[in-house]
Chains A and B, each alone.
Chain A
Amino acid sequence: MDATDKMPANTDYAIDVQNLTVGYGSNVLMKDLNFTVNNGEIFVILGGSGCGKSSLLKNLFGLYQPLSGDVLIEGQNITVAQGAERQKIMTSFGVMYQQGALFGSMNLLENVTLFMQEYTELTQGQMDLLARCKLDLVGLLPYETYMPSEISGGMQKRAAIARAMALDPKILFLDEPSAGLDPITSADLDQTIMDLSKNLGITFVIVSHELASIYAIADKVIMLDKGAKGIIAQGDPKVLRDTSADPKVHQFFNRIMSKDAA
């Protein structure tokens, strides 16, 4: 039976995660996760290294099949969707991978226009202009003819964000967008994210460790823990930093070394 039959589609949320269990085979990383992401929200997933943040993200946007549970993206269940329906859901969001994952054989402009060529009826000139706008947003306009191998890692990440925005998706999944960026670029990127969220109503789901950036942009965070195999805290990051009684959460948000916490 289709899971969407049981639960009526709720389009109030950009993403609605229900009883999601994430893992590989018998190795369960996280059990029975339940959370929602509101439309236009900047939602940050936190947690120590290796707790499965990136795996959770890949489950959210349907790259990996969860062990159990459902992920509704704008009311549509991506875990059961097939064929054209699945493709439609897939084009409603953009993804930036941790290492950028740009296509090495194409220059930056071509990387950004690729998905437009496949999904829209725009002419090449129009797509190029659109792509230049995206590259301008991430500060890479002068580098449009560069190949990914010719630019730095941080620039590759920004180019990957531009590519993720190519079709102006309603949701953007970013895997550690500001890691490896210099503070100025990182702050610029935060501002761009906030502008896009506020002005265009784009929903962001971001995996990040950068506390400064999290405090600046996040509307809501969830913190995952390896031991608990689930969410140990959620809410406004500043409130969590100041009020959380959980030692792990307190330690994380206040950058306290592990030996000092004990």
Chain B
Amino acid sequence: MSMTAPISSAPSLVAVWSQTDAASAQIFLTGKINVYSLGGVWTQIRDAQDAWLKQDANQSLVFDASKVSSFDGAGIAFLIGVEEAQRKAGGKFEIVGLDARYQPLLKEFDPISNLFPTPTTKPKTSFVVSTGIATQDLIDDARGLITFTGQLTADLVWSIRNIKQVRWGDFVNAAVEAGIAALPIVGLVAFLIGVILSFQSAIGMKQFGAISFVGPIVSLGIFRELGPLITAILLAGRSSAAFAAEIGTMTVNSEVDALVSGGLSPIRFLVVPRVLAGILVAPILTLYADIVSVFASAITMLAYGIPFINFYNGMLSAVDLEDIGSGLLKATLFGIVVSAVGCLRGMQTGTGAAAVGISATRAVVSSIVMIVLVDGVFAFISYKTGF
């Protein structure tokens, strides 16, 4: 076979494949060999080498680096890639003209076969196994929740008996962050819900000529149900997620471990102040949401020709102090649930930045689920007891 011209002879290429016959071939390198200049060329050379190696002969390849002006880690990786292919096929490989200063680096990679691990495939888990694992996770989660509830209750009782040792500074920070900072968003949402609820109710009630009942019924709904619910859901979105992210980051940074190894209860240090803040803030925010929402409803009813005084009297006829108290009690429960769940998810954080995001998401989802559950239980109790 006569000597073939190099396959690739474009001037910009830093490596050229040249084949003398089935048994011998050369790779000529020129210029700067680096991670950028090898792009594309590497594939071309390896393809040519593989095609050549398919012929059955005692093949020897010469890697000619005598015209190289600079050579770096990528060049070495390229060399190793070519050598490994040659070695696998049982051919010979010879390096010519490579500057002596690159030799020590090349030696670092001996034996090069280590760089080509046999790909391992992960064994697939069967449906039964994955169902089992999922169930186990669910049970672990429930157990964690029960343990946490127990510890939290114990530490809350402890904090009542040792009131001076509660971390009141953390409590104030959490209360300000969850409470005062939430006033604008709670106000806005409560106002809009008041307006929307009144308009929607008015559309229906107008058909029965019962427009004057919109005020009382909307007010009752707000005080008993919507005020606490709006507040709790906003708390879940704002504060539960914030608690989870904050405690989650502390978990990732081993700060929680530092408390435990120092003989301190992370629940008492981190969770109790936040739960106490939730207990304080939730009913106050709810009362604020109630007032804003009812006020919004009163303004809306003006458009239907119901003056403030009529709205007010209608509201008084429908809403007792008991209704307001019932709403606030429920709000307090929501406050406990939302802040505790946020803290729990924070403490369950795994490792790494992504884990904190997962914890914050789980905190919001779990909080909202818990809110609905508590609300359902509360509705049942109210129905049975009339409170």
Chain A contact residues, CB within 8 Å of chain B: 104-105, 116, 119-123, 126, 129-130, 132-134, 136-137, 141, 144, 147-149, 165, 167-168, 192, 195-196, 198-201
Identify the 9 closest CB pairs spanning chains A and B, nearest first.
A121-B39, A104-B352, A149-B351, A168-B72, A130-B77, A168-B73, A199-B101, A132-B115, A133-B77
Contact status of A198 and B101, CB under 8 A, knowing A123-B43, A167-B35: yes
Q: Which chain B residue shows the least CB distance to A144?
A: B117
Which of A119, A126, A141 interacts with B36 by CB under 8 Å?
A: A119
Q: C-beta contact mask, B114-158 vs A, less than 8 Å → 1, else 0?
A: 111100000000000000000000000000000000000000000
CB–CB A133/B39 < 8 A = no
Chain B contact residues, CB within 8 Å of chain A: 34-36, 38-40, 42-43, 70-74, 76-78, 80-81, 101-102, 104-105, 108-109, 114-117, 350-354
Tell me the smallest distance from the CB of B63 to a CB of chain A, in Å: 16
CB–CB B352/A121 < 8 A = no
Tell me the smallest distance from the CB of B44 to a CB of chain A, in Å: 11
Q: How many Å lie between the Cα of A137 and that of B43 in the bound state?
A: 24
Tell me the smallest distance from the CB of A93 to a CB of chain B, in Å: 14
Q: How many Å lie between the Cα of A105 and that of B355 in the bound state?
A: 10
A interface SS class? helix
CB–CB B108/A126 < 8 A = no
Tell me the smallest distance from the CB of A230 to a CB of chain B, in Å: 34
Contacts of B114 in A (CB 8 A): 136, 141
CB–CB A126/B43 < 8 A = yes
CB–CB B109/A133 < 8 A = yes
Q: How many Å lie between the Cα of A168 and that of B36 in the bound state?
A: 10
CB–CB B76/A133 < 8 A = yes
Contact status of A199 and B34, CB under 8 A, knowing A132-B115, A137-B108, A168-B72: no
CB–CB A120/B109 < 8 A = no
- With A129-B80, A133-B77, A195-B108 given, can you name 9 additional A-B contacts, CB distance below 8 Å? A105-B354, A120-B36, A120-B39, A122-B35, A133-B80, A136-B109, A137-B73, A149-B350, A192-B108
Contacts of B34 in A (CB 8 A): 168
Q: Which chain A residue shows the least CB distance to B105?
A: A199
Q: How many Å lie between the Cα of A59 and that of B101 in the bound state?
A: 33
Contact status of A133 and B104, CB under 8 A, knowing A104-B354, A122-B38, A165-B73: no
Q: Which chain B residue shows the least CB distance to A134?
A: B73
Contacts of B105 in A (CB 8 A): 195-196, 199-200
Contacts of A192 in B (CB 8 A): 108
Contact status of A200 and B35, CB under 8 A, knowing A104-B352, A105-B352, A136-B114: no
Contacts of A104 in B (CB 8 A): 351-354
CB–CB B73/A122 < 8 A = no
Q: Which chain B residue shows the least CB distance to A91?
A: B36
Q: How many Å lie between the Cα of A104 and that of B78 in the bound state?
A: 29
Tell me the smallest distance from the CB of A226 to a CB of chain B, in Å: 27
Tell me the smallest distance from the CB of B43 to a CB of chain A, in Å: 6
Can you spell out 20 A-B residue pairs with CB atoms less than 8 angstroms apart?
A104-B351, A104-B352, A104-B354, A120-B38, A120-B39, A121-B40, A126-B42, A126-B43, A129-B81, A129-B116, A130-B74, A132-B115, A148-B352, A168-B34, A168-B35, A195-B108, A196-B105, A198-B101, A199-B101, A199-B102
Q: How many Å lie between the Cα of A199 and that of B102 in the bound state?
A: 6
Q: How many Å lie between the Cα of A165 and that of B352 in the bound state?
A: 23
Q: Which chain A residue shows the least CB distance to B102?
A: A199
Q: How many Å lie between the Cα of A165 and that of B77 in the bound state?
A: 13
Q: Which chain B residue shows the least CB distance to A132?
A: B115
